[in-house]
Amino acid sequence: MPPKPRFCAQCGAALTTRVVDDRDRDVCPDCGTVFYRNPLPIASAVVLNDRREVLLVKRGNEPQKGMWCLPIGFAELGETIAEAALRELSEEAGIEGRILRHLDVDSYQSSYYGDLLIVTFEVEPIGGEPRAGDDAEEAGWFALDDLPRLAFSSNVKAVEACREHHREEWAIQDSFARLQGSATSEMLSDPLVSWIRDQASEIAGNWLIDVRSNPTTRSYHEAAPEPLRARATSALQHFGRWLRGEEAPEEVRTYYRNLGKMRRREGVPLHELLSSLTLFRKHIYDLARNQGIWQRTIDVYKMMELERRLVLFFDRAVYHAARGYAKDPNAPE
């Protein structure tokens, strides 16, 4: 703990202790100067790269010499706390940056420096390469899920605050990458897919009303409703497994080619069969969309992702139904 002052910096008299503003303060008995002891301001920076790694430096001095921490240091007179964070980042790690946002503020009682007030910002790197400087021994990038033990609890809090800030953004990015790669599992919209399957009876009922009254599906108007409802319900119960890849593409192919053959034998025009599938997709999406209020960005993305998955799935379904409808479904594709 830093030693308390013993003499007045104004007149040199020995200080005494008095209660001022309900606290014990150091006061000069001669000139009346009150010496307020305030926390020392500390600035630190969380810097991420595009691989979601965080920049750390290994401390070259006490306290916590030899441990890893965020670029961190005392604010100087004449600079803002944000400017201090950028300066320390440059001096300790060789990185020039731009403040993105305030992440955390923390109070810390240090046996070395006394009371500290630690303010942490997320900083975007705009230049330089990691290199140890100032009082750092090393500087480098570390994966967020494989960090060394950090020197200061405030750093742990700040890194977690940064992770939480990006959680939904990263979840969307990851799910989109899986979607682009035609992945069939661990999608953000998977809960919606499961919910759709659970609502098979309601969706099938809504579709049945529509397909038996819509002018684009006249052949279905006089069809027996219960067989239509049963087939629609069965398709929806398989729907989630198809989207997740739990059933082979050949099963989707066989199901919809057989559907095409069946509708051709029943005399349903091809355009009406395709319209019935379009209506089926519409009622799946509409019920999912209406099952909640979408306020967060991630909820909006889930619906967009679901719509994309429905389009991809029904593109295949329509193709195979049309192939099954053809008189020679085994012709070269």
3-state secondary structure 72-88: EEECCCCCCHHHHHHHH
What's residue 205's pLDDT?
95
42-93 per-position pLDDT tens digit: 999 999 999 999 999 999 998 999 999 999 999 999 999 999 999 999 999 9
Determine the Cα–Cα distance for residues 191 and 243; give it in Å rounded to an integer: 12
Kindly list the catalytic residues. 138
Q: What CATH number labels 1-37?
A: 2.20.70.10
Determine the Cα–Cα distance for residues 134 and 139; give it in Å rounded to an integer: 11
Residues of CATH 3.90.79.10 domain(s) within the chain?
Answer: 40-180
Task: Return the CATH class of domain 190-325.
Answer: mainly alpha
Low-confidence ranges of the chain (pLDDT < 50): 329
What's residue 127's pLDDT?
96
DSSP assignment letter at 104: E
**CATH superfamily of the 40-180 domain:** Nucleoside Triphosphate Pyrophosphohydrolase (3.90.79.10)
202-240 per-position pLDDT tens digit: 999 999 999 999 999 999 999 999 999 999 998 888 887
Residues of CATH 1.10.490.10 domain(s) within the chain?
Answer: 190-325
Q: In what order do the strands lie in the sheet with 72-74?
A: 72-74, 40-47, 114-128, 95-110
3-state secondary structure of 63: coil
CB count in 10 Å sphere of residue 77: 4
Residues of CATH 2.20.70.10 domain(s) within the chain?
Answer: 1-37
Are 111 and 1 contacting, i.e. CB atoms less than 8 angstroms apart? yes
